[in-house]
Structures are given as C-alpha cells and as structure tokens.
Amino acid sequence: MGEPILCYGKSGSGKSRSLKNFAEDEILLVNVISKRMPFQKQFKYVLKSRNYNTIKNQLMKMPCKVAVIDDAGYLQTSTFMEGHSTPKKGASTFDLFNQIGDEFWDLILFVKEQLPEDVFVYFLMHEISNDYGEVKVRTIGKLLDEKVCIEGMFTICLHCMTDGTKHYFKTQGGTNDIAKSPEEMFDLEIENDLKFVDTEARKFWGMDGGEESA
C-alpha cells in the first residue's frame, strides 16, 4: 500500500516552499492550479491537472517514489466551481457535494490501496479554524468533514507554520490541532523540509531511501 501524508497550513506558511530540497527528478509534482513554485528549481516531472483520473493514471506510472499534490484542496474547489452554477432540481445540490466527497475519498484510498508501499504521496492543503480555535484542513461540504474525518486516513499530518522569521512543521498537535506522527519519528518541531520528512519516515519504517539505506 502507498503512504498518503498530509501537510496543511495557511497560505504563505511554506507548504510549497517545503519541496525545495527534493532533487529535480525526485518527485512528481501534481500542480493542481498551475501555480509557480516559490523557488527557482524546476522539477522534471510535472502534471498540471485537476482531473482525478488523470492524476491516478500518472501516479500509477510515475518514474519516482514521491508525488506531491499541491494544492490538493483545489481538487474539491474545481469540482464545486464546475458544478455549482448548473441548474439544479431536487436532490441534485446534494449530488454535487456527494461527488466532491466521493472523489477525494477515492483518491486517498487509491494511494493507500493501489500504489506500492514505498510510494509516498504528499497532500498539501489549506487549513481552517473554527470559533473554538480548532485547526483542521479546509474542505468543501460536510461529507468529508463530519462523516469521513479525512485526517484519520493519514498516519502523518504535519502542520506547516511560520512565525515571520522561520518556517517549520509541527508534528504533534493537541486538543485543538490535528497534527500527528508516529512516536519517536520526529521532534515536536522540525524544519520546513519535506525531503527531510521523506528520508526520516522511510528510515523509521525500514524502507529504501532512508539515511540508513542510502
């Protein structure tokens, strides 16, 4: 099974920035909204698409062990924006939100069930907080939020943060944050560097690509 990893944060917190230490041929970048990266490096394998089937097909045949979907939340936004203006009758409004939830759920399960176990797919997403200060990923509709709890589908959820002078990942949350990772895999706060995350996770799970296997 493949390993989906969630990385979430505010716009400008450093989600895309965290890719800069990957080699140019080391990842498949799924650029959902054709956004320029915040650094000069150009990745060799780039897919600009919001189509779930196209993304799945590319994940199946990509020539590397790491994929990054940036920003995965816009896959939901795309489905909503393409469908919300269509004239609707009866339950068709609910059908749109069901489609949004079903497609995203299926993509995560596809990674977990259809890809090789040494393939990591990073889902970069925006965060949202409620009136109680609870932080979670931004989704569209109640299906993913209330019925699925998508963070429960990930073993690693990294909270991407900045204090204005540095960028970093929070690896463990508390009552009001969904950040989590296996005990002893990371320190509580680590560098804003998904290459480091990838190496340490593979080492922790005894996979090729970890520092001990290099």
Q: What is the pLDDT of residue 149?
A: 86
The two three-digit tokens of residue 141, written as one number: 């509709």
pLDDT tens-digit map of 113-143: 999 999 999 999 999 998 888 898 999 988 8
Which helix (H) or strand (E) element contains residue 191?
strand 189-191
Question: How far is residue 61 CA from its own chain's centroid?
Answer: 19
Q: What is the pLDDT of residue 145?
A: 79
Q: What is the pLDDT of residue 213?
A: 37
Residue 174: pLDDT over 90: no
Which helix (H) or strand (E) element contains residue 190?
strand 189-191
Are residues 120 and 64 in contact, defined by beta-carbon separation less than 8 angstroms? no
Q: What is the mean pLDDT of residues 11-32?
A: 97
Give 120-176 as a DSSP string.
Answer: EEEEEEEEEE-TT--EEE--SSHIIIIII-GGGG-S-EEEEEE-SS-EEEE----TT
Residue 214: pLDDT over 50: no
Q: What is the pLDDT of residue 175?
A: 84
Superfamily of domain 3-81+104-213 in CATH is P-loop containing nucleotide triphosphate hydrolases (3.40.50.300)
pLDDT tens-digit map of 157-167: 999 999 989 99
Mean pLDDT, the chain, whole residue set: 92
